[in-house]
Amino acid sequence: MAKRTKSRPAMPGFIKPQLATLKSKAPSGAGWLHEIKYDGYRTQFHIDGDDRKAFTRNGLNWIKRFSAIGGAFDIPCQAIIDGEIVVVHEGRANFSELQADLARGDQDRLLFYAFDLLWLDGDLRNKPQEERKRLLKGLFDEYDLKPPLMYSEHLEGDGQQLFEHASQLNYEGLVSKRADAPYRSERTETWVKIKAVRRENFPVVGFIKDPSGVAALYLGKKEGKELRYIGKVGTGWSRTVSGQIRKQLETVVSPKTKLTKPIRKPKATWVEPVFFADIEYRDVTSEGLLRASSYKGLSKGTRRS
């Protein structure tokens, strides 16, 4: 733990965050710290006596929105802590629930997962990642910091195995960090992120036309005897593929929606739900809609596994 002195260097203002590079596989060798990727708002807390700031990724001070978390840092030292603000819903971080709470001004469910310590009565950014994590854990232990403050645990070992386990638990993914690397305010390869995506086939229930093809597909999901709306997809195809999709769907146009509970979509052309769209998506929102969806293919007839 850093030595407390009366004479402390002046704290810096907002520090541009270090960002992770997206990779398709997690590193499997030694020398990496692996953390759960949280689906929330990246936030940097500055603590200096009674002065509390909470900077967003773009440098906006949101301390009024996150005052409950800022007030929980009951520590006598100066500190800059990097982490993620989340709302845990049904056992994991849920971004749509976080957005809903912030829109209401409700802080009761907000948690701050702290994963890096940039300043502790002095600049720590040139220290190795594992040393900064050790000091962060020491800060939590020494001052008995409790929720809404959470220490982000890490694991070492085969990153890909850990990623696969995290995916099975429906986490957003994994962030792997070089244990010996300093903190750098840029996108680096000493931090890498691996995202878990889901993939499923959904019946197409309608589409929006554009001049040469489709602008979006409306999707359904079969639940027992019901066909409910689960959202739309508007990315993942070329102009040529867009035209091919429209040509196929125009063979099954329906005068009205086949959804069990009709929805109002003035621009929709409804179709019989006989084509299935292969969709990659991140999550399902609290409203039951696909989040971050992307089109991967179209098939007719029975659903592919």
pLDDT tens digits along 211-247: 989 999 999 999 889 999 999 999 988 888 899 999 9
Q: Which of 28, 29, 17 is nearest to 188 (CA)?
A: 17
Q: Which of 179, 111, 121 is nearest to 145 (CA)?
A: 111
**What is the predicted pLDDT for the residue at 7?**
66
Q: Please determine, for residue 302, whether its predicted confidence score (pLDDT) is greater than 70.
A: no
Which residue has better confidence, 302 or 71? 71
**What is the predicted pLDDT for the residue at 39?**
83
Average pLDDT, the chain: 91
DSSP H stretches of helix in the chain: 67-72, 95-104, 129-142, 159-168, 239-249
- Domain 198-300 grouped into CATH 2.40.50.140: yes
**What is the predicted pLDDT for the residue at 296?**
86
298 membership: H or E segment, kind and range: strand 294-300
Using CA atoms, how far residue 237 sits from 145, 217, 246, 296, 297, in Å, is 48, 11, 12, 8, 9
Secondary structure of residue 105 in the 3-state scheme: coil
Q: How far apart are the first and last CA of the chain?
A: 53
Q: Please determine, for residue 110, whether its predicted confidence score (pLDDT) is greater than 70.
A: yes
State which CATH number among 3.40.50.1220, 3.30.470.30, 1.20.810.10, 1.50.10.10 fits the domain covering 19-195: 3.30.470.30
Q: What is the mean pLDDT of residues 35-41?
A: 90
Q: DSSP string spanning 170-210?
A: T--EEEEEETT----SSEEEEEEEEE--EEEEEEEEEEEE-
The torsion of the CA quartet 259, 260, 263, 268, rounded to 10 degrees, works out to 20
Q: Is the peptide bond before 148 cis (omega within 30 degrees of 0)?
A: yes
214 membership: H or E segment, kind and range: strand 214-223
**What is the predicted pLDDT for the residue at 291?**
85
Q: Please determine, for residue 115, whether its predicted confidence score (pLDDT) is greater than 80.
A: yes
**What is the predicted pLDDT for the residue at 105?**
93
- Domain ranges in the chain are 19-195, 198-300
Query: What pLDDT band is residue 2 in, cutting at 50, 70 and 90?
Result: very low
**What is the predicted pLDDT for the residue at 17?**
97
Query: What pLDDT band is residue 49 in, cutting at 50, 70 and 90?
Result: very high
pTM: 0.71
Parallel, antiparallel, or unpaired for β 110-120 and 149-151? parallel
Q: What is the mean pLDDT of residues 251-273?
A: 95
Question: What is the tens place of the pLDDT at every residue in 149-207?
Answer: 999 999 998 888 888 888 777 777 899 999 999 999 999 999 999 888 778 899 999 99
Which residue has better confidence, 284 or 69? 69
Which residue has better confidence, 168 or 84? 84
